[in-house]
Chain A
Amino acid sequence: DGGITQSPKYLFRKEGQNVTLSCEQNLNHDAMYWYRQDPGQGLRLIYYSQIVNDFQKGDIAEGYSVSREKKESFPLTVTSAQKNPTAFYLCASSLTTGTGADTQYFGPGTRLTVL
């Protein structure tokens, strides 16, 4: 089945550690996104990528880094510079038809907790 997978589902990090969240899609989508969700809040964009080897900062990129070496994969690293990383992280992907209106489809999310 086509879809977006994220791993792990739950992740615990000690302060000062970097952690990497995985996002893989087999939908043949060109664009991929990372969002952060805090309790009682909507989602906020961290990074996005429209094509391989290219990515752009979103609204809250500080303390995060990404790479896009393969079309299918868009891992997110939460660095020690992120002051409040405890949150629910959602990855999404979409086609790029050129209309700027392509629907984004989401993965199941990773819940990160800093101990």
Chain B
Amino acid sequence: AQKVTQAQTEISVVEKEDVTLDCVYETRDTTYYLFWYKQPPSGELVFLIRRNSFDEQNEISGRYSWNFQKSTSSFNFTITASQVVDSAVYFCALLRRMNYGGSQGNLIFGKGTKLSVKP
């Protein structure tokens, strides 16, 4: 079975604090892809990052960084020096190939972590 677990339902921090959002996944595939999306109060999902299973390099983009560890099946997301605009629900997702043989995948989402950044 393929599954994504985001154990933190809600996190509240004060502006400028660093915060890490946890994501643990389960899959039997040897090749897979992991994603993070941000959902601000407006509702639209905004793509943040995609990671291939064969590339374990950590990635940094501005204040955002991602730590991918296959040994622990985790793909954690850290925001450095958080800002009020970071307040949103963040989803981790695993790409699953469609059963009928198509080449496209279906995203398996975790339940999300609601981040509140207070001024």
Genuine A/B complex: yes
Within 8 A of A (CB), among B38-63: 42-47, 50, 52
Q: Which of A44, A45, A104 has the most chain B CB within a 10 Å cutoff?
A: A104
A50 touching B35, Cβ below 8 Å: no
For the complex, what is the distance from the CA of A49 to the CA of B69, rounded to whole Å? 32
Enumerate B45-92 residues with CB–CB distance to A below 8 Å.
45-47, 50, 52, 91
Q: Give the distance in Å from the alpha carbon of A33 to the alpha carbon of B93 in the complex.
A: 15
Q: How far is the CA of A90 from the CA of B109 in the complex (A)?
A: 13
**Which B residue sits closest to A44, measured CB to CB?**
B109
Q: Please count how many residues in chain A sit with their CB below 8 Å of the partner chain's CB atoms.
A: 32
Interface code B17-54, partner A: CB below 8 Å = 1, 0 otherwise? Answer: 00000000000000001010100001111110010100
Q: Interface size for chain B: under 10, 10 to 19, 20 to 34, or 35 or more residues?
A: 20 to 34
Once A and B bind, how many residue pairs between them come within 8 Å at the CB atom? 75
User: How far, in angstroms, from A94 to B107 measured CA to CA in the complex?
Assistant: 12
Which residues of B lie under 8 Å from residue A104 when comparing CB positions?
A: 47, 107
| B110 CB → nearest A CB, Å | 5
Is A42 in contact with B112, judged by CB distance below 8 angstroms? yes
A101 & B105 in contact (Cβ 8 Å cutoff): yes
Within 8 A of B (CB), among A70-111: 88, 90, 92, 94, 96, 98-109, 111
Q: Choose one: A33, A56, A99, A111; the contact of B43 (CB below 8 Å).
A: A111
Question: A50 and B102 in contact (CB under 8 A), knowing A105-B47, A109-B43?
Answer: yes
Residues of chain B at the chain A interface (Cβ within 8 Å)? 4, 9, 33, 35, 37, 42-47, 50, 52, 91, 93, 95, 97-98, 100, 102-107, 109-112
